[in-house]
Every structure is written in C-alpha cells, then in structure tokens.
C-alpha cells in the first residue's frame, strides 16, 4: 500500500462521502495499475460488495463494444446511421428549421453527443416537467426506443449534426446506438454486453437489469426518498441499465484503458473534447468523459486528465493516467448532489499520491 494511502485515510475519505445531506451510502474502490495496490471500502447503507445500478457508466461499456466492433471491421465511426437503421426510425429524426438532417447523422455524432438530437430524459415538456422529474417523483414508466423516438421527433433539435463546437448530452443518442449494435450483431443488448464484456472478463455479479421483480440492486435515492424504478431501469439497457459492483466495474475500467477491447493507441482518438455544462460540468469526447480539474486544485503536482464516466446515480468509473490510479463506486444519489462528494474523494486521493 502506498504510504500515504493508509487504511485510516481511505476509510475517512469514503466516510466523508456520506457526510453531505441525503448521501446515505457510498462505496469506493481504488487501484493503481502497476504496483498491485487495491482498496475497497464503504460507508452508510451500502456494503462493499453490494450490486448497484451503474446508470450512465453503462455508456463506457457501449464505447468498448463500438470500438471492438470497429476493430473487427464491422463498422466505422463515420458510417451514416441510416445505413444501420430502418427508414421509419430515421424519418423525421432531425428536422431543424425546416431542413431534414436525419440522413447526415453518423455513429460518431451519436457516441460523441454531437448529433443535436434532444435528450428525452431531460427535455422540458409542455407541462413544464421532464421525464427525469416524473421518474424521480415516483411515476415509474418504461422508455423503449420507439416511445423515445415518437417523443423526440416532436421536439426541435439543438443544432445541426456535427456543428463545430456544439455538444448536447443526450440519452437518446445511446438508445439509437444500442439499436444499431443489436441490428449489427443480431443480439439484444443484454446478450451483447454478456458476450463482449461480462463473459470476456469473467464477471459474475454484473448483468443488464431486465426483470422488473429483481430486487438485488441497492435502492436508488432521489434527495431523501428511495426510488424504485423497475419499469424504467429494465427498458434502458444501452444508456444506463447495467447492474454491477465496484470491484467488477474496476475490472472493466482497467480493461478499457489497457487495450482489452480495442488497440490501446486508439484512446487518443477519443479525446476530442467539448465542454458540457449540463448535467454538470465536464468534457465529452468520443464515448468518454473527462473531469474538469482547475490547475489551482493542485498547482505543484498537476492532476491532468481524469477520464471515464459518471452515472446519474452518482456511480463513477474514472482513471487518472498521471498517477496511474483508477476509481470506481457509487454515492447512490440521483439528485446530482452526490457527484461532488465522489469528485472530492477522487481529488483528495490523487493529491496524496506523489
């Protein structure tokens, strides 16, 4: 164990993650790449080996699948999505100021959130409510692709596909990516993740949530309330439907950054960053996120890049190449208030590593 990362320090760090109001439980796994250091701890109402919804960390798994398919010459990022989806899916998908740009959208636009397609999850409807707010207030409902598209095609896109300097975080993009992957592999997303990732890495506690009677994952929270969303969580496999543990998420994270799914040198290609301000402030590349870390946080020992993915639930999977250190876990709070606690824990640990 690195001298500064002693057990009391790490236990205190994960304990601090639940000090903030409405953060009821946290699990944190920390590993380094080359010296075998590994630590797993928890606080509050979550245990170290509990299974939890990784929510949008699932999108990192989608990136792995897409790049694996590319490595097998089964797709190109530049492919028009119209080549992989039926005409009725594409028709009217992106009509901006009277011009239909649907046929111009590429896989790269989807996976980099530069398509301009609205996010069904966060779009404010005519009643002033979003799908997210309705779900978190207890109105559980499923959101399969067909339903999402019927809703989105009535909304105005944010910008032209690939418009320079424009980015918009959209779960809709990943629903479309999921359907493209299913059409290409002739497998459903549960089978895709199982074959391409879970079986490949020997994961036994990781699966796609698709049984509405499944109570294994720990309860999600929205502010002070536990929320039970089986219909929703079982309908969003490609954008956020994976259940896992901190330890098994760590296995996937390390495999992702060490060339298990695609040539390691392709990582640089993913770093085509656009700054996103909602939900939260971070950079989005090609199927990869980068945390915004002001230099003033650690002026003498720059932290540089922290790469990976956030989930709506406060789930996280990030890698800091500068210290060769990996972080996974969850704060299990859907309000967005948990993310800052997880961020502070990661920064605190990174600063302790010389």
3-state secondary structure (DSSP) of residue 275: strand
- Residue 345 within any structural domain of the chain: yes
Note whether 208 and 344 are same-domain residues: yes
Note whether 52 and 76 are same-domain residues: no
**Domain region containing 26:** 7-57+204-212+236-352
Note whether 347 and 251 are same-domain residues: yes
Per-residue pLDDT of the chain (354 residues; tens, 9 = 90+): 566 688 999 999 999 999 988 999 999 999 999 777 999 999 999 999 999 999 999 999 999 999 999 999 999 999 999 999 999 999 999 999 999 999 999 999 999 999 999 999 998 887 889 999 999 999 999 999 999 999 999 999 999 999 999 999 999 999 999 999 999 999 999 999 999 999 999 999 999 999 999 999 999 999 999 999 999 999 999 999 999 999 999 999 999 999 999 999 999 999 999 999 888 889 999 999 999 898 888 888 899 999 999 999 999 999 999 999 999 999 999 998 889 999 999 999 999 987
- Residue 129 within any structural domain of the chain: yes
Tell me the CATH number at 158: 3.40.710.10
Q: What is the pTM of this model?
A: 0.97
Note whether 123 and 174 are same-domain residues: yes
Note whether 53 and 70 are same-domain residues: no
- Residue 228 within any structural domain of the chain: no
* CA neighbor of 27 nearest in space, from 11, 14, 13, 39: 14
The domain total for the chain is 2
Residue 3 has what pLDDT?
Answer: 61
- Residue 199 within any structural domain of the chain: no
> For tokens 């502070």, what's the residue?
344
Note whether 30 and 72 are same-domain residues: no
Note whether 113 and 32 are same-domain residues: no
348-351 contacts, C-beta under 8 A, 24 or more apart: 348/13, 349/5, 349/10, 349/13, 349/30, 349/325, 350/298, 350/303, 350/306, 350/320, 350/322, 350/323, 350/325, 351/297, 351/298, 351/301, 351/303
| Domain limit, last residue, from 185, 220, 253 | 185
Note whether 37 and 72 are same-domain residues: no
3-state secondary structure (DSSP) of residue 40: strand
- Residue 224 within any structural domain of the chain: no
């Amino acid at each position: 164990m690195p001298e500064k990362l002693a057990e009391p320090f790490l236990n205190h760090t994960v304990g601090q993650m639940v000090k903030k109001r409405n953060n009821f439980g946290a699990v944190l796994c920390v590993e380094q790449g080359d010296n075998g250091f590994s630590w797993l701890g928890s606080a509050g109402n979550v245990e170290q080996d509990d299974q939890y919804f990784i929510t949008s960390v699932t999108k990192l798994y989608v990136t792995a699948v897409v790049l694996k398919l590319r490595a097998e010459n089964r797709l190109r990022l530049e492919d028009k999505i119209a080549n992989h989806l039926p005409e009725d899916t594409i028709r009217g998908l992106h009509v901006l100021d009277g011009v239909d740009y649907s046929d111009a959208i590429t896989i790269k636009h989807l996976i980099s959130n530069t398509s301009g397609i609205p996010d069904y999850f966060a779009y404010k409807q005519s009643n002033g409510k979003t799908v997210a707010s309705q779900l978190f207030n207890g109105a559980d409902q499923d959101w399969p692709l067909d339903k999402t598209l019927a809703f989105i095609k009535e909304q105005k896109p944010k910008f032209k596909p690939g418009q320079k300097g424009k980015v918009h975080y959209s779960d809709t993009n990943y629903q479309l990516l999921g359907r493209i992957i299913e059409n290409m592999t002739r497998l459903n997303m549960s089978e895709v993740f199982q074959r391409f990732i879970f079986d490949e890495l020997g994961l036994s506690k990781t699966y796609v949530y698709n049984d509405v009677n499944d109570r294994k994952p720990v309860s999600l929270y929205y502010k002070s309330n536990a929320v039970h969303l089986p219909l929703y969580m079982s309908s969003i496999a490609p954008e956020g439907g994976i259940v896992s543990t901190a330890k098994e998420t760590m296995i996937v994270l390390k495999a992702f950054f060490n060339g298990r799914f695609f040539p390691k040198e392709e990582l640089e290609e993913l770093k085509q960053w656009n700054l996103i301000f909602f939900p939260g402030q971070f950079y989005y590349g090609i199927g990869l996120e980068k945390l915004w870390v002001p230099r003033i946080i650690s002026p003498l020992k720059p932290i540089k890049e922290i790469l990976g993915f956030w989930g709506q639930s406060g789930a996280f999977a990030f890698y800091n190449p500068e210290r060769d250190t990996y972080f996974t876990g969850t704060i299990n709070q859907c309000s967005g208030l948990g993310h800052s606690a997880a961020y502070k824990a990661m920064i605190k640990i990174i600063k302790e590593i010389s």
